[in-house]
Amino acid sequence: MAKTISLINMKGGVGKSTLTVNLAWHFAAYSQWRKKVLVVDLDPQFNASQYLLGVTQYSSMLERGDQTVWDIFESNTRIPGRNVRQLDASTLIQNVITLKNGGVVDLIPSRLELAFSLKNPGHKERQLSKFLYDIKDSYDLILIDCAPTESILTTAAYLSSDYLLVPVKPEYLSSIGLPLLVNSMQDFRKEYDQHNLRLAGVVFNATSEYSPEERLSKNGVRSIASQNGWHIFKSEVSYSRSYPKGAREGQPIFRTSYSRYSQVSKFESFAKEFAIRISL
């Protein structure tokens, strides 16, 4: 049965989607892993879908009328004159790549309309966990790329997850997202005390290792993490121009043209530490 991990931070632009996609590729493609990975794009901005599918595949998907994560949340919504739409995993889950070594990256794509679900959130928070429960046996790892704001989607992600992974960019404004997350998790635990949601840890993302400002931010994050008993990963994902370039090429860092071995290797170290942490 798959381990489900939500990548979450209440601050946007910390690299959640990039990290999600790169982790998915890493665990599917590297010969020591060969995992079947499902990425769930739970952000109405659909960055993970853009990264993994590209324009042509994404627009073909819309033209075919394939379902998206929006359908999961709206599957029980009754519209006058229309039947409740049945979820169909075969059109909902898009295969991005099936590697010869057995590794798979699949995607449940998102779309802008997911934002409309937020306007009418009533009783939708369990829809995602119900859907994922039925397909968990087909995967080794499910990665949920969350939106950076507190909403029904956050609760849905928590209810679906075994662990949270929190990417933090060591910058002043980015680190303020962390206390917001502490609040969000505390509220969730009060309301859903029977759900065992664990924090895999905080990972410093897009680090440069030189700036004094970065050091200050890291110290602030370490202090909050220590107050809450949160783990901080030793390995950091350092900034590299190959990450945005990889998103443009639709490739993970280890397949991006001219990516440096040192950067790829740093990502590998983090992926390894993460896998040990969640017992993958």
Partner 1 sequence: MERKQEIQLLNDILKCINKYESKTLIDLLHLLNEDNFFKTITATLDKLSLLNRNTKKIKTGNNNSELKNPIKFLDTLVEIGRYDKEKADILTELYYKIKQKEILVSLREMKNFVLDSGLPPLKTTSREKAIIPFLKILLTLNIDDLKNKIEKIYNNSTKQDRSLKGWSDIILKNDSNE
The residues of the shown chain that bind partner 1, judged by CB under 8 A, are 29, 50, 53-59, 62, 97, 99-101, 111-113, 248-251, 255-257
Query: Which distant-in-sequence residues (6+ apart) come within 8 Å of 33 by Cβ?
Result: 26, 27, 103, 275, 280
Q: Residue 140 CB, nearest distance to partner 1 (Å)?
A: 19
Q: Residue 261 CB, nearest distance to partner 1 (Å)?
A: 14
Q: Residue 72 CB, nearest distance to partner 1 (Å)?
A: 19
Residue pair 23/144 in contact (Cβ under 8 Å)? The answer is: no
Q: Residue 84 CB, nearest distance to partner 1 (Å)?
A: 22
Between 33 and 204, whose beta carbon lies closer to partner 1? Answer: 33
Distance of CA 24 to the CA centre of its chain: 9
Between 56 and 86, whose beta carbon lies closer to partner 1? Answer: 56
Q: Which of 217, 224, 174 is nearest to 201 (CA)?
A: 224
Q: What is the dihedral of CA 48, 53, 59, 63, to 10 degrees?
A: -100
Q: Residue 255 CB, nearest distance to partner 1 (Å)?
A: 5
Between 56 and 90, whose beta carbon lies closer to partner 1? Answer: 56
Between 97 and 118, whose beta carbon lies closer to partner 1? Answer: 97
Between 100 and 123, whose beta carbon lies closer to partner 1? Answer: 100
Q: Residue 19 CB, nearest distance to partner 1 (Å)?
A: 19
Query: Which distant-in-sequence residues (6+ apart) come within 8 Å of 145 by Cβ?
Result: 7, 16, 17, 20, 39, 40, 41, 42, 43, 47, 48
Between 58 and 267, whose beta carbon lies closer to partner 1? Answer: 58
Residue 68 CA to residue 18 CA, distance in Å, equals 20
